Amino acid sequence: MGRSEKQKAEDAIRIDVVRQLVRAGFLNDYIARLLGIKVSCLRVFLYRHKVPSNPGLGGKRNHARYKGGRIVRKDGYVYLSGMQHHPRHYKGEVLEHRVVMETKLGRFLTAEEVVHHIDYNKQNNDINNLMLFKSQKAHFFYEKNICVHPNNPRN
Ligand SMILES: [Zn+2]
């Protein structure tokens, strides 16, 4: 018997990153979406690691809190607030696409690493729309010489 999909998904999750998201006040629904797993799967994972989770999007109050965690700033990027525990937060805020990548990798990104939006939509932070580069230099090289996406302003 192979390992279940659920188990494989759990292997990709680093508990400290999840713990941080929970502590920052994010709801199960949102964290599960970031991780690309089912809410029920996350709940089991949290229970096993004895992390007291925040409730889901059931009530109106929770929904309001959920919205408050995401802010679209003037630069067009989505920021997550309440992230004071993040090693590279600025005034408690961290770029959502970087947190999505960190959650996927199970580690924090270095200051040098750059996360690229494949469709050039800064607000589409689905993990499948994100690409990680080791440096800004590598990122620029990709955009200038390799990327053929129609939304690339260089094309
Ligand atoms: Zn880019």
Measured in Å, residue 94 CA sits from the centre of ligand 1 at 18
- pTM for the full predicted model: 0.67
* Ranges of each domain in the chain: 1-68
> Coil, strand, or helix at residue 67?
helix
The two structure tokens encoding residue 15: 């508990």
Q: Can you give the pLDDT at residue 55? A: 60
Measured in Å, residue 58 CA sits from the centre of ligand 1 at 36
Rounded Cα distance, 18 and 12, in Å: 11
Measured in Å, residue 146 CA sits from the centre of ligand 1 at 11
Measured in Å, residue 145 CA sits from the centre of ligand 1 at 12
Measured in Å, residue 120 CA sits from the centre of ligand 1 at 7
The two structure tokens encoding residue 134: 């080791």
- Please check whether residue 46 is in contact with residue 53, taking contact to mean a CB–CB distance below 8 angstroms: yes
Mark residue 5 as left, alpha or beta (left: phi above 0; alpha: psi -120 to 50; beta: remaining): alpha
The two structure tokens encoding residue 51: 């992390």
Q: Can you give the pLDDT at residue 7? A: 65
Measured in Å, residue 17 CA sits from the centre of ligand 1 at 24
Q: Can you give the pLDDT at residue 10? A: 61
Please give the chain's pLDDT, 155 residues, in tens: 456 766 665 666 677 778 877 877 777 877 887 777 788 888 888 888 888 776 654 433 443 343 447 889 999 999 988 777 778 889 988 999 998 898 888 788 999 999 999 999 999 998 899 999 999 999 999 999 999 999 999 88
State the residue for tokens 């607000």: 123
Measured in Å, residue 76 CA sits from the centre of ligand 1 at 13
Q: Give the torsion through C-alpha atoms of 49, 9, 67, 22, to 10 deg.
A: 10
Q: Quote the distance between the C-alpha of residue 74 and its chain's center.
A: 20
Q: Can you give the pLDDT at residue 84? A: 74
Report DSSP state, residue 144.
I
Measured in Å, residue 139 CA sits from the centre of ligand 1 at 6
Q: Can you give the pLDDT at residue 145? A: 94
Tell me which residue of 107, 105, 93 sits closest to 131, measured CA to CA: 105
Q: Can you give the pLDDT at residue 3? A: 62
